[in-house]
Structure 1
Amino acid sequence: MKFLRLAALAGVLAFTATTTTYAQDDIDKLIRENAEDGEKLVGGYIAPFMKSFALGLNSGWYNTAKPHKLIGIDLTITVSAMRIPDKEMFYSVSGLNNIELQEGVTGHPNEAPTLIGPGESPIYRVKGSGETFEGPEGLDLKEEIGKNWVPTPMVHLGIGLPKNTDLKLRFMPEIDLGDDGSANMFGIGVMHDIKQWLPGFKVIPFDLSAFVGYTHLKLQYAYTPDEIQTENPMAEMVMNATTIQGVISKKFSVVTLYGGLGYNIVKSNIGIKGKWDLNDNGTYEPNLREINPINIDFKTSGPRATAGFRLKLAVITLHADYTVQKYNALTVGFGINVR
């Protein structure tokens, strides 16, 4: 089977969300022998990126528990750095069908680097033929910037509604990424003051709200392989992130301390869509087609706890917070806040 191009598409989607240039041919060679091997190798290589970046979509929603006054508004830009543990710099490639690891990387002879791993290429061998080839190297983030951080930038718009409620929006219209690629994003969140419904709580000098937010990110890449008969081929990456939290804050002059406690529900998928004639015989018979031949799911759900502070000078806000979760996150932001 010739899955040389299919893995490249999966890799391109992950790397499109970074500023890194990646050689498609390297990924091609990983899965040319077997689709199941290809999913394992591609999935293991990009898993830290997919999980951490998707989880990062739940960051930066708020910097206070106090909703805006009616028709109040803020525009805030944030960047969250997701911390990936050192153990995820490598992944096991045992249990493959047609491919085996012949040579790992320094200090890890039986493992291959993930996307955030060291800049060394593992050597693979095709069982039977004995052919060898190099796998992709990592981005070596720890060497380049000192830590394994994956950034997630975001722009938020908050609007004050009746009953001490904030509507928060994230939106990116479909943009052209070049080479028949596109991306779009949409997010919506609601913060509601719950003190107003709790007898006796109105006089307590802090703000307490409930928050729920959802973000959807989708990237697509159209591609027509040279050697495989296809119908509507498309590589696709989809991320869905939901967070449910209780948020508390206390203002001291121009400084506000805030915190949140809640739960993340995060799912992402990367794959090759369409119908593919995997037998490469040119007949294009319906019974020889496979629909969505590569389909890899990732989940990163779990509890979260956030603590941070905001500095407000007139209508300008600066804030920073740290979140403890599956991948800990440091978030910083700048905004314009009115009412």
Structure 2
Amino acid sequence: MKNLLFAIMGFCVLAVQAQSDANDLFAAGVEDAETFMNDYLAPVSEGAIYSVAGSWFNTGDAKPLGGFEVSIIGNITGFKNKEDKKTFILNTADYQNLQFVDGSTTKTVSSALGDIEGVRVFVEAEVAPGVTSREEFDLPSGLAAEDINFIPSGFIQGSVGLIKGTEIKARFLPKIDTDDVAISLIGVGIQHEFTKHLPADKILPIAISGVIGYTNIKGTYDFTDTSIIAGSDQRIDAKINTWVFQAVVSTKLPIINFYGSLGYLSGKSETAVLGTYDVQSGPFQETYTDPFTLNKDASGVTANVGTKIKLGFFRLHADYTLAEFNNFSFGLSFGFR
């Protein structure tokens, strides 16, 4: 259940891979573990930013005063053909202790999105005069190795029309809080239709709007009880904050409409590895407390096209966004006016 919840919110690798390889990575020393995990997790953090940031609109036509819409929205952010996000170059010169078993100094290895397996590394050091300790292990693979080539997300979103072509929006995910997993998502947005100020608004076949949206997602995974590595209060705290600024144009027809946008996305993720970790193998047998926090920024231009079908109080919409990580979004809505 915990892995499914994190997969839904785009944090599956942050939860699963970080715990399953913690003992091996910390055996290389905390500095090397941080260096590796920063490169390893950066693509999945970036993909999660793109997954939760968008889907703020399904039309450029702002709702009138008192009009409302409530939607259930799902997103699938793909990376199947993004080889540059599924791998990275590991250069041993950037590490204090980590070395490749085959003697290479640089090698293409898997990121948290990738599928490269069997890359063997080692750490070695003198632990006493004339006594050398060596630890070998495989670097972790990623989601593609499990035939998962997308990052999903989902939430509930509502919007209400105000005066003068302005519409306010809010999104949330009902808080999930179990013994070892807690996830929550909130967001606020605003849409303003500029064509509402034109004299010919009632007869124009299109609507043009501007949209600004902010999303915050938090997730905590406590894996102390998994006994992957000795210690206490072991957990991952992940946070993502995103902003989007978009110009939207759509048709204004009774049943089927089409919309598109051009915009800019900016986001930041922060993943903290917290707790106490007792490394009991290899040459660097130490205890680490709250060992490191990883940060990833992402920004870029986005463009999307979509369609919406209105059937009385019910609406269906789907759109596709082109960006650093492309995203397919779909939604089921209930609305009035």
TM (norm. structure 2) is: 0.80
Taking structure 1 as reference, are residues 308 and 14 closer, same or farther at Cα in structure 2, changes over 3 Å only? Answer: closer
Return closer, same or farther for 1:260/1:68 CA change in 2, 3 Å cut-off. Answer: same
Letter in 1 for 2:221: Y
User: Which amino acid letter does the alignment assign opposite residue 191 of structure 2?
Assistant: M
State the distance in 1 between where 2:264 and 2:9 align: 28
CA 1:103 to 1:47, structure 2 compared with 1: closer, same or farther past 3 Å?
farther
Offset of residue 72 of structure 1:
1.7
Conserved? CA contact 1:78–1:331, under 8 Å: yes
Partner of residue 22, structure 1:
16
SS at match of 2:143: coil
Please state how far the C-alpha of 1:242 moved relative to its aligned partner.
0.6
- Indicate conservation of the 8 Å contact 2:10/2:151, yes or no: no
- Which structure 1 residue ranges, 5 or more long, are not aligned? 1-11, 281-288
Output aligned runs, 1:299-310, within 5 Å: 299-310=297-308
Structure 1 residues 15, 272: CA separation in 2 closer, same or farther (over 3 Å shift)? farther
Is residue 195–residue 202 contact of structure 1 (8 Å, CA) maintained in 2? no
**Residue in structure 1 matched with residue 284 of structure 2 by the alignment:** none
CA RMSD between the two structures: 3.3
Alignment partner, residue 316 of structure 2: 318
Contact 1:14 1:50 (8 Å CA) reproduced: no
Cα distance in 2 for residues equivalent to 1:233 and 1:140: 26
Q: Secondary structure at the match of 2:31?
A: helix
Distance in 2 (alpha carbons) for counterparts of 1:135 and 1:112: 8
Instruction: State which of 42, 47, 54 in structure 2 corresponds to 1:52.
Output: 47
Q: Give the equivalent residue in structure 2 for 1:135.
A: 139
Give distance in 1, aligned partners of 2:121 and 2:30. Answer: 16
Q: What is the alpha-carbon distance in structure 1 between the residues aligned to residue 177 and residue 307 of structure 2?
A: 37
Shift in Å, 1:91:
1.5
- SS class of match (1:266): strand
Structure 2: distance between partners of 1:16 and 1:41: 23
Match of 2:273 in 1: 272
Once the two structures are superposed, the pairs formed by residues 285-304 of structure 1 within 5 Å of their partners are 292-304=290-302
Q: Does 1:35 align with 2:30?
A: yes
Q: Confirm or deny that 1:215 pairs with 2:215.
A: yes
Partner of 1:98: 97
Partner of 2:130: none
- Residues 1:118 and 2:135 aligned together: no
- Structure 2: which amino acid aligns with 1:91? F
Counterpart mapping for 1:228-247 below 5 A: 235-247=236-248
- How many angstroms apart in 1 are the aligned matches of 2:177 and 2:46? 24
How far does the alpha carbon of each residue in 1:73-132 deviate from its partner, in whole angstroms, 9 at most, with x for none?
21212222223212221122212111123369xxxx812212221162421211333321
Q: Deviations over 1:121-166 (max 9, x none)?
A: 421211333321122222226x736xx3222222211122222221
Check conservation: 1:65, 1:248, Cα contact below 8 A. Answer: yes
Match of 2:83 in 1: 86
Instruction: Give the match for residue 206 of structure 2.
Output: 206
Please report how far the alpha carbon of residue 241 of structure 1 lies from its aligned counterpart in structure 2 after TM superposition: 0.8
CA contact (8 A) 1:27 1:136 kept: no
Q: Are 2:218 and 2:237, in contact at CA under 8 Å, matched by a contact in 1?
A: yes
In the superposition, the TM-score normalised over structure 1's length comes to 0.79
Match of 1:77 in 2: 72
Q: Which AA in structure 2 matches 1:83?
A: G
Q: Structure 1 residues 256 and 25 mapped into 2: Cα distance closer, same or farther (>3 Å)?
A: closer
Q: From the superposition, tell whether residues 103 and 332 of structure 1 become closer, same or farther in structure 2 (CA, over 3 Å).
A: farther
Q: What is residue 263 of structure 1 aligned with on the other side?
A: 264
